[in-house]
Chain A
Amino acid sequence: MSERAAKITPTDDDEQADDQITDSAAPDAATETEAEADSESTPKPVTNGAESVIRALENAGVEYAFGVQGGAIMPVYDALYDSDITHITMAHEQGASHAADAYGIVAGKPGICLATSGPGATNLVTGLADADMDSDPMVALTGQVATDFVGNDAFQETDTTGVTTPVTKDNTFSTDPDRVGTDVSEAFALASEGRPGPTLVDLPKDITKSDTEVEPDAPKTPDTYEVQEEADPEIVAAAAERIENADRPALLLGGGVIKAEASDVCREFAIEHEIPVITTMPGLGSFPEDHELSMEMAGMHGTGYANMAITHCDTLIGIGTRFDDRLTGGIETFAPDAELIHIDIDPAEISKNIHADYPLIGDAATVVEQLQAAVDSSPQATKWRAQCQQWKSDYSMAYDAPEDRPVQPEFVVEALDEATSDNAIVTTGVGQHQMWACQYWTYTEPRTWVSSHGLGTMGYGLPAAIGARVAADDDQEVICIDGDGSFLMTLQGLSVAVRENLDITVAVLNNEYIGMVRQWQDAFFDGRHSASDYGWMPEFDKLAEAFGAQGYRIDEYDDVADTIQEAIAYDGPSVIDVHIDPQANVYPMVPSGGDNGQFALTEDQL
Chain B
Amino acid sequence: MTDETYQQGLEGPPPEERPTPAGRRNKQGIRIDPEVEATHEPRRTVISALVKHEPGVLAEASGLFSRRQFNIESLTVGPTKNDDRARITVVVEEPDPGIDQIKKQLRKLLPVISVRELEPDAMRRELALVKVDAHDPAAVNAVADMYDAKTVDSSPETATFEITGARQKINAAVETFSQFGIREISRTGLTALARGTDETAAAPSTDDAASTADKANQQQTQQYTQTTTDD
Contact = CB atoms under 8 A, between A and B. Distances in A.
Contact of B27 (A222, A232, A331, A394): A331
Contacts of A598: 15, 18, 20
Interface stretch (B3-11, B116-124, B161-169): B3-11
A355 interface: yes
Interface in A283-317: 304, 308, 311-312
Contacts of B220: 355
A355 B25 contact: yes
A183 to B, nearest CB: 12
Interface stretch (B59-67, B135-143, B146-154, B191-199): B59-67
Interface string A387-407: 000000011111100100100
B209 A228 contact: yes
Contact of A587 (B3, B10, B15, B27): B10
Contacts of A170: 110
Contacts of B188: none
Contact of A232 (B29, B101, B107, B214): B214
A224 B13 CA distance: 54
B25 A334 contact: yes
A399 B1 contact: no
A564 B2 CA distance: 29
A548 to B, nearest CB: 38
* Contact residues on B (Cβ < 8 Å of other chain), bracket: 35 or more
A600 B209 contact: no
A597 B217 contact: no
Contacts of A399: 10
Contacts of A405: 3, 6
Contacts of A40: none
B97 interface: yes
A389 B131 CA distance: 76
Given A332-B25, A587-B10, A308 B217 contact: no
Nearest to B104: A348
B170 interface: no
Contact of B11 (A166, A350, A601): A601
The interface residues of chain A, by DSSP majority, are classed as loop
Given A165-B60, A583-B8, A605-B15, A337 B23 contact: yes
Interface in A541-564: none
B9 A226 contact: no
A347 interface: yes
A584 B1 CA distance: 10
B110 A337 contact: no
Contact of A347 (B10, B97, B107): B107
A461 B26 CA distance: 37
B24 A332 contact: yes
B213 A355 contact: no
Contacts of A584: 8
A353 B30 CA distance: 9
Interface string B15-35: 100111111111111110000
Given A165-B59, A602-B7, A235 B214 contact: yes
B113 interface: yes
B14 A601 contact: yes
The 6 closest A-B pairs by CB, nearest first: A602-B9, A336-B23, A354-B29, A348-B104, A347-B213, A355-B30
Interface of B: 1-3, 6-15, 18-31, 52, 56, 59-60, 63, 67, 97, 100-101, 104-105, 107-108, 110-113, 204, 206-214, 216-218, 220
Interface of A: 161-162, 165-166, 170, 173, 190, 222, 224-226, 228, 232, 235, 304, 308, 311-312, 323, 331-334, 336-339, 346-348, 350-357, 359, 361, 394-399, 402, 405, 522, 527, 583-585, 587-588, 595, 597-603, 605
19 contacts: A222-B110, A224-B112, A224-B113, A228-B207, A311-B20, A312-B19, A337-B21, A347-B104, A348-B107, A355-B28, A355-B97, A395-B10, A396-B12, A399-B10, A402-B6, A583-B2, A585-B9, A595-B20, A603-B9
